[in-house]
Each structure stands twice: as structure tokens, then as C-alpha cells.
């Protein structure tokens, strides 16, 4: 019915959509998923299945694509830099430009949406402006406030993590950019949150030791930072029950590919994804 009557159903803004036997959606070519559910407007989605994971972890993340992502507003700082990037390239964009040039603009915009500090020279500008507004702040406070307030995503994470920690959750945070992980690491250090990290520079025994520290029953490690493209096949982090995808891939087919290499325990009754 969803597939055959999709044109009619897509006009209706559903508050809740309950999908029974949701494990049928594990096939990326499933018509119910590609030809129906992705086209519908749904505020909340509830997936019912007794077997979210059967053959491989990728199936689990294909199912996980259906729940809506959390929409985060750009901070005022991000809006300013986003506008500046577009205005700086306005002439080229109007005239038409080569694919590489366009990709460069898109990458700058993407960096801006993740965190303005990723843009060359932006951090110094932001710190200078904030120091004028709050001369009473010391350097440590100024640096932390700028790091958080400059990005809407980090603002949200700052609000989420205390609640998650209080309720006993353990969190995986994925990003495609190593520099984003650097910023998140600085944030976690400032907040005194114990964490582990794996990216392409962490190899062999160090990687396994990091996993073991996070997974121990009496571990104080609260957050695990992972580079989506270097997470590593077969990483077992079943101690975690919450997954935050900091920046998604432009291609929906790749969105959970890297995260799909990691086993976690988030699809339980207390788990969640953002």
C-alpha cells in the first residue's frame, strides 16, 4: 500500500509511523524503503523488529537510516561565515565554474556547517570578537566558550552529554573529519569527560587497548570518538548504547558505511541515535 499509494500518502504529514517487521528494510534495494517510506513526511518513526542484526552490522545501519536526523540550527557565527563564503564566490557561482572549483566552495560550506574553526583564519577572528564582548573572561574560559558557541552542533552536544552521562549512557561520536575530532577532543578535555579516540593514526595494539579501556565493566570512559572512514572493520563497542553522527556523508548510501563497521549496543530499549 505504501509503495502503490505513495503519491497520495506523501501529501499527509504523519505524526507517527509504526513499521512492523522492520528487519525487512535491511536490504538497501527494498522497495518499501526506497519507493515509499523515504518519500513520506513523518515526525516520528517507530521500528519494530526482533532481529535488528542478523548477517552483518551494515544491515543494522541500513535500518537506522530511517529514523530522522536531528536538525541543528547554524549558530550566528556559522551564518556569518556561510554568507561570507557565498559572497566571496558569488561571481564565480553566477558565471558557472568548473567542477573542482565548485567542490572547493562546497567543502568550505561543509566545514562551516561542522565548525567555523575548520576555516582558515576563522578561529582567530572569532576569539578576537568574543574577547571584545567579554573582557572579563580569562583565556581558558574564552577559548572554551568560543569552541562551543561557534557551532550549533557543539552547542547541542554540550546540552546532551551531561544528561546522557547522568542516565548512565555510553556514547559513540562519529565524524568524517579528523580535525573535527580534534575539536571534539578539546571540548571533552575542557568538560573533564573521560574518552577514547580512534582515527587513521591509531594502529594495532593502541587501538585494541583503547577499545578495552572503553569496554571494561568498571570503565569510567564515557565517550568514544571515531573517524567514520577509519573506524575499522570489526570494532566491537557493545558497551555503547548511544550513537551521534556528527557529520553525515552527502551520499545516503555512504552515510552509515563507516559507522556500520562498528558494533554497538545502541538499538536496545535505552539506546538512541542522533
Average pLDDT, the chain: 80
pLDDT tens digits, 212-268: 999 998 999 999 999 876 654 456 777 888 888 898 766 554 555 555 555 555 555
Let me know whether 214 and 118 are in one domain: no
Give dist(CA 235, CA 263) in Å, integer: 6
> Percent of the chain, pLDDT > 90?
42
Do 222 and 165 contact (CB within 8 A), yes or no?
Answer: yes
Let me know whether 207 and 119 are in one domain: no
Tell whether 267 is covered by a domain. yes
Give dist(CA 263, CA 215) in Å, integer: 12
E strands within the chain? Answer: 13-19, 41-47, 171-175, 195-198, 223-227, 235-237, 242-245, 262-264, 272-273
Taking 90 as the threshold, does the pLDDT of residue 187 lie above it? yes
In the chain, the number of structural domains is: 3
What mean pLDDT is predicted for residues 17-22?
76
Of the ranges 24-38, 57-71, 160-174, which one carries the lowest mean pLDDT score? 57-71
Tell whether 155 is covered by a domain. no
Tell whether 69 is covered by a domain. no
Let me know whether 99 and 164 are in one domain: no
pLDDT band of residue 62 (cuts 50, 70, 90) is low
Domain CATH number, residue 228: 3.40.50.300
Let me know whether 100 and 198 are in one domain: no
Domain hosting residue 108, numbered range: 76-148
Give dist(CA 148, CA 142) in Å, integer: 10
Tell whether 70 is covered by a domain. no
Tell whether 252 is covered by a domain. yes
Nearest to 63 by CA among 264, 237, 256: 256
Amino acid at each position: 500500500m505504501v509503495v502503490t499509494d505513495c503519491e497520495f500518502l506523501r501529501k499527509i504529514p504523519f505524526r507517527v509511523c509504526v513499521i512492523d517487521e522492520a528487519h525487512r528494510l535491511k536490504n538497501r534495494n527494498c522497495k518499501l524503503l526506497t519507493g515509499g517510506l523515504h518519500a513520506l513526511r513523518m515526525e516520528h518513526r517507530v521500528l519494530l523488529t526482533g532481529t535488528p542484526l542478523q548477517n552483518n552490522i551494515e544491515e543494522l545501519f541500513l535500518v537506522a537510516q530511517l529514523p530522522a536526523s536531528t536538525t541543528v540550527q547554524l549558530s550566528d557565527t556559522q551564518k556569518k561565515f556561510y554568507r561570507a563564503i557565498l559572497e566571496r564566490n558569488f561571481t564565480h557561482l553566477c558565471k558557472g565554474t568548473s567542477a573542482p572549483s565548485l567542490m572547493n566552495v562546497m567543502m568550505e560550506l561543509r566545514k562551516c556547517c561542522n565548525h567555523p574553526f575548520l576555516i582558515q583564519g576563522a578561529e582567530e577572528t572569532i576569539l578576537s570578537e568574543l574577547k571584545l564582548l567579554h573582557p572579563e573572561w580569562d583565556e581558558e574560559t574564552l577559548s572554551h566558550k568560543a569552541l562551543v558557541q561557534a557551532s550549533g552542533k557543539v552547542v547541542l552536544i554540550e546540552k546532551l552529554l551531561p544528561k546522557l552521562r547522568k542516565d548512565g549512557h555510553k556514547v559513540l561520536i562519529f565524524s568524517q573529519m579528523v580535525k573535527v575530532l580534534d575539536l571534539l577532543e578539546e571540548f571533552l578535555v575542557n568538560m573533564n569527560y573521560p574518552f577514547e579516540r580512534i582515527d587513521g593514526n591509531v594502529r594495532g595494539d593502541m587501538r585494541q587497548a583503547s577499545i578495552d579501556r572503553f569496554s571494561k565493566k568498571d570503565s569510567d570512559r564515557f565517550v568514544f570518538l571515531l573517524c567514520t572512514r577509519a573506524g575499522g572493520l570489526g570494532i566491537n563497542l557493545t558497551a555503547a548504547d548511544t550513537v551521534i553522527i556528527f557529520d553525515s556523508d552527502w551520499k545516503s548510501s555512504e552515510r552509515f558505511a563507516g559507522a556500520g563497521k562498528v558494533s554497538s549496543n545502541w538499538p536496545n530499549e535505552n539506546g538512541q541515535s542522533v
